[in-house]
């Protein structure tokens, strides 16, 4: 299953519906947030996995806690919100608050809800990565390539799927701030890919912020 399939398929729609019911926000806002957060998280994990210690830590976490079963039972996402928050703390570090603030502004999800919604989505994204890892029989040393491959495949699939209804959702929710009105999903993934090699190491300023700035047209 490709990343686009996760975003547009039953899993994405089911978790969006649960978040809508739980937090009282638009289902489309959740889908747009997931479409931004998924490639963003995968991109940053790819960068972190360049460190052997980080790669081993991620590999262990995926084997232990993220076997992909959550994709067939999205009710786990609500039960694992605390875990999701810990995941986000590790991935974004001291930039987490900045990321949440920018995502709140662009999606219209209030700042008091953006963190909990992201925490609900994070285990879904990790479950997807874990399932891909299992299917491709990848160990710690191959995680960077796996994650980059997920993003590359998603970019190609998005380029060939301009009629995808998720494009309209993203365009409406983000207010047309993507670089192309015809395919905002591909713009998002393309922006992440374009900045992937330029991210700074964990703890430096500008890494996540530069990706978000590119996604949202520097606004």
Give the pLDDT means over successive 10-residue stretches in the chain (219 positions). 89 94 94 92 92 96 94 93 95 92 90 96 96 96 95 83 71 66 74 63 50 61
Residue 128: both structure tokens together:
């997807």
Round to whole Å and give the CA distance between 63 and 65: 6
Contact 133/46 with Cβ under 8 angstroms? no
**Measured CA distances, 17 to 59, 131, 181 (Å):** 30, 23, 26
Residue 187 pLDDT? 80
> In angstroms, how far apart are the furthest CA atoms of the chain?
41
| Residue 80, helix vs strand vs coil | coil
CB burial of residue 6 (10 Å; 0-12, 13-18, 19+): buried
Residue 177 pLDDT? 52
Rg (Cα) of the chain, in Å, rounded? 16
Give the other-Cβ count within 10 Å of 131's Cβ.
20
pTM of the model: 0.85
The helix, strand and coil proportions of the chain, stated in percent and rounded to the nearest 5, come to: 75, 0, 25
**Terminal Cα distance for the chain, rounded:** 33
């Amino acid at each position: 299953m490709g990343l686009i399939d996760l975003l547009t398929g039953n899993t994405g729609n089911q978790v969006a519906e649960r978040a809508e019911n739980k937090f009282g926000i638009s289902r489309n806002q959740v889908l747009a947030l997931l479409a931004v957060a998924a490639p963003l998280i995968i991109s940053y994990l790819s960068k972190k996995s360049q460190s052997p210690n980080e790669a081993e830590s991620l590999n262990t976490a995926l084997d232990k806690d993220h076997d992909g079963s959550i994709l067939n039972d999205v009710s786990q996402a609500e039960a694992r919100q605390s875990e999701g928050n810990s995941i986000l703390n590790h991935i974004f570090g001291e930039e987490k608050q900045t990321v949440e603030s920018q995502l709140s502004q662009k999606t219209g999800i209030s700042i008091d809800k953006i963190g909990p919604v992201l925490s609900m989505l994070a285990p879904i994204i990790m479950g997807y990565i874990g399932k891909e890892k299992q299917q491709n029989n990848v160990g710690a040393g191959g995680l960077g390539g796996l994650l980059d491959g997920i993003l590359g495949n998603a970019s190609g699939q998005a380029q060939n799927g301009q009629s995808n209804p998720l494009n309209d959702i993203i365009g409406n929710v983000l207010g047309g701030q993507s670089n192309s009105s015809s395919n905002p999903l591909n713009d998002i993934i393309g922006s992440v890919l374009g900045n992937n090699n330029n991210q700074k190491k964990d703890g430096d300023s500008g890494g996540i912020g530069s990706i978000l700035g590119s996604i949202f047209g520097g606004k």
